[in-house]
Structure 1
Amino acid sequence: MKILILGSGGREHAIGKKLLEDDHSIHLYFYPGNGGTSIIGKNIENHHTVLDLGFFAKKNAIDITIVGSEIFLLEGVVDIFQNLELKIVGPHYLAARLEGDRIFAKSFMKKYGIRTPKYNIFYCYEKAMHFLKKNTNSVAIKTNGIAAGKGVILAHNSYEYEKALKNMMIEKKFGKSGDQIIIEKFLKGKEASIISFFNGKNIIPFLSAKDYKKIGENEKGLNTGGMGSIVPNPYMTNSIWIDFKKNILEPTLKGLIIEKLTFFGFLYFGLMITEDKVYLLEYNTRIGDPEAQTLFPLMKSNFLKIIQSSFQDKEIYIDWKKLCSCCVVLSSRGYPEKYESGKIISGLNSLKEPFYVAGAKKKQEKWITSSGRVLNIVGIGNTLKEARKKAYDQVKKIKFENLYFRKDIGL
């Protein structure tokens, strides 16, 4: 079987490793891939558009394509592949707007009674500033479009309001994504990620995860694509799970079916758990990163069979190991803003599985950094404490210039 995976990060390396673990005979292709994916499969080159990728998949008889990165989804890759009669895991363009268009997603939540924080939409910098000048509470200011996981700024005072708005709407730090913004009521609580598989009829949730989004310890500083994660999330109690299913998952499923936004692929619920309720902050229409790297080592079921079951209209069951996992992201100092690449990495060959390459490549038999997030180190244990210790013991083996990582993942 030939499988093509679209994306270049640790998530895509994790998807590939899990597939090979379940079936050694699979042939993997990645676009664009990274240094880790080139070891377990073939990185393909010179396919600059999603149509090029479709022709590649057709010509090379790719059996299934799995979309890792949201960028491809919002370029309509699923629609193009389906028009070419190719099997692909991911939402068509209209459904991908649940991630790529926050205003569309918020309208969907409101229409179907999905519990989400109160919000206001602005298309004009002056009107947004006027609204915030009358506001004395903390807010979350969000770009409407995607921004590599960095398009949310929490603002607690007038200086922070103004800085965030200027970044998004005047200086265009996030490009066109900041043309329209959402100002949302700030909720105090604990975040949770529920990644699920949607087979067009049912939403099957994975284990709960906790993502650490900020660059600094104690969730301080700028938003990133994720600096670590743990599974399961200790704050997802039984009562919160029940609340989530009743007030978020079930009305989401109802809305997807009514609006004809059904697809075979992943649906990610970004949640905030307050003292007594759970709220939906956002949808993603692909598996999260670094949550994928933390979840796959605990998945007992055959991942390929889960995917095939959706295409074959079979029920999906997912078995999990009764263990805990902790993923620590090693990054280049300066990320998520300016950072230097091309630094030699030592110790990678001494790592024990599971670990994943995110932004590194091999050059003349040496591993070098090539992106902001470089490696994902995962520890597995009977308790979160044990998993955390194993992850950080592994981290000690890695050295490169300007190495940075958070020391509080899982605390």
Structure 2
Amino acid sequence: MRVLVIGSGAREHALLLALRRDPGVTELFCAPGNAGTARVAEQHPVDVADPEAVTAMARRLAADLVVIGPEVPLVLGVADAVRAAGIACFGPSRQAARIEGSKAFAKDVMAAAGVRTAHSEIVDSPANLDAALDRFGPHWVVKDDGLAAGKGVVVTEDRDAARRHAASLLEDGHPVLLESYLDGPEVSLFCLVDGETVVPLLPAQDAKRVGDGDTGPNTGGMGAYAPLPWAPEGMVEDLVENTVKPVAAELVRRGCGFSGLLYAGFALGAAGPAVVEFNCRFGDPETQSVLALLRTPLGELLHATATGSLAEHTDLEWAPGAAVTVVLAAENYPGKPRTGDVISGADDEGVLHAGTVARPEGTVVSAGGRVLSVVGTGADLAAAREDAYRRMAQVHLPGGHYRSDIAARAVAGEITVPGPR
């Protein structure tokens, strides 16, 4: 099977490494890729947001399967164009991708499916902002209603900070979603979805804020680990049966059945699990940890999902132990990152590239905010964490920064799911 992966981040690097382990995958291509994916797959330039360009490339490469990594091409209908050309594509249609592309659409789907989530309100005019803010608090959750790469969210007890963020979004022409605050530890659950067939992967937890101790602004994700030693027994089965399957069924009922990876983010609060968000693709950095432990051939799974035969592949095999991912970010991230710095010590296969490019002479330099993901594995979470930070210590990026506490609270047994009030 010839597989073309669309995207240029560490998520795509992780997908390529997992696909390479599948004996049924004979050729790997990546577009546009980065300095790390170039060592795993043949690379080609492409505008990932151009459906015609991606489709033409898939035809030219005689791809048997196209795997779309990022959300933007999915929301813009790239998967529809590829499928219309008769090529199997892993990724939802434009209509189904609204589950991430429009938070208002996602809320409507969840309401119809009877799924618990935060109370919310859309604000599309500055004139309505103050009255709407008064209906929330003492924690304010302010989101961009569209795509924001994980950085359009502010969670704060400071009403003025909430107002400033909301006002800036409205000034840029973006509707604002205000939400009630959800308590409890968060879980990222990836599910392969083919219509109403749902196959969960390992649960993971990511670290969204830039600084140790969950301080500072939100980012696209500074680290993740899987599985979750603190997860209640039967948690995954419960989340799938009571949330993911009803949402998948509701999308089918609306005529936009989901085909691809449905990412469900949950808060496990005292009142029970509640959905924080749905995404229409593999999440980054959780993918790096989850796929590091997958033993079932990934190409086989993604092709089955894309061609409507996922129901034949419901029993997955996982490596024992755990995986921890730590993200190395550029100076000033999540603000405008400094780029063009030379990276050294990043040749280890446990170092997955994201914002990197290779210069003609072979030097690798930074080219984005999240530059690398370092993945460690081990017999348990403590060993995986030690492995990840050992690998990170070998990498050097001027001005680079990373969190030193990824998975630390889980290792220390400090994460618990609150019981019913």
Which bin holds the TM-score, normalised by the shorter protein? over 0.9
* Runs of 5+ consecutive residues of structure 2 not aligned to the other structure: 409-421
Match of 1:197 in 2: 192
Letter in 1 for 2:339: S
1:357 aligns with 2:358: no
> Per-residue deviation at 1:47?
4.7
> Per-residue deviation at 1:241?
3.3
The two structures have a TM-score, normalised by structure 1, of 0.94
Deviations 1:200-242 (A, max 9, x none): 2311110100011111112122111110000012343125335
Matches within 5 A, 1:269-284: 269-284=264-279
Match of 2:399 in 1: 402
Match of 1:342 in 2: 340
The alignment partner of 2:220 has SS state of: coil
Matches within 5 A, 1:8-407: 8-23=8-23, 26-47=26-47, 49-133=50-134, 135-170=136-171, 172=172, 176=173, 178=174, 180-310=175-305, 311=307, 313=309, 314-316=311-313, 317-349=315-347, 351=348, 353-363=349-359, 364-407=361-404
| Most deviating of 112-121 and 123-132 | 123-132
- Conserved in 1, the CA contact under 8 Å of 2:210 and 2:222? yes
| Most deviating of 234-243 and 285-294 | 234-243
Question: How much identity, in percent, do the aligned residues show?
Answer: 30
Name the CA distance, whole Å, in 2 between partners of 1:320 and 1:237.
Answer: 19
Residues 369, 136 of structure 1: CA spacing in aligned structure 2 closer, same or farther, 3 A cutoff? closer
> Per-residue deviation at 1:150?
1.0
Residues 89, 135 of structure 1: CA spacing in aligned structure 2 closer, same or farther, 3 A cutoff? closer
The alignment partner of 1:204 has SS state of: strand
Letter in 1 for 2:91: G
> Per-residue deviation at 1:354?
2.6
Name the CA distance, whole Å, in 1 between partners of 2:142 and 2:395.
Answer: 36
Name the CA distance, whole Å, in 2 between partners of 1:100 and 1:130.
Answer: 26
The alignment partner of 2:67 has SS state of: strand
> Per-residue deviation at 1:136?
4.1
Letter in 2 for 1:282: E
- Conserved in 1, the CA contact under 8 Å of 2:194 and 2:259? yes
Name the CA distance, whole Å, in 1 between partners of 2:328 and 2:207.
Answer: 13
> Per-residue deviation at 1:7?
0.8
The alignment partner of 2:336 has SS state of: coil
Name the CA distance, whole Å, in 2 between partners of 1:182 and 1:388.
Answer: 36
Name the CA distance, whole Å, in 1 between partners of 2:244 and 2:79.
Answer: 24
Deviations 1:313-346 (A, max 9, x none): 2511211112111000011021111221111111
Name the CA distance, whole Å, in 1 between partners of 2:283 and 2:269.
Answer: 22
Name the CA distance, whole Å, in 1 between partners of 2:406 and 2:156.
Answer: 24
Name the CA distance, whole Å, in 2 between partners of 1:302 and 1:134.
Answer: 49
> Per-residue deviation at 1:307?
2.0
The alignment partner of 1:368 has SS state of: strand
Deviations 1:170-229 (A, max 9, x none): 2x2xxx5x2x12111012211110001012231111010001111111212211111000
The alignment partner of 2:21 has SS state of: helix
> Per-residue deviation at 1:254?
2.3
Name the CA distance, whole Å, in 2 between partners of 1:266 and 1:241.
Answer: 16
Letter in 1 for 2:16: G
Name the CA distance, whole Å, in 2 between partners of 1:191 and 1:385.
Answer: 20
| Most deviating of 226-235 and 5-14 | 226-235
The alignment partner of 1:94 has SS state of: coil
Letter in 2 for 1:13: H
Name the CA distance, whole Å, in 1 between partners of 2:236 and 2:300.
Answer: 26
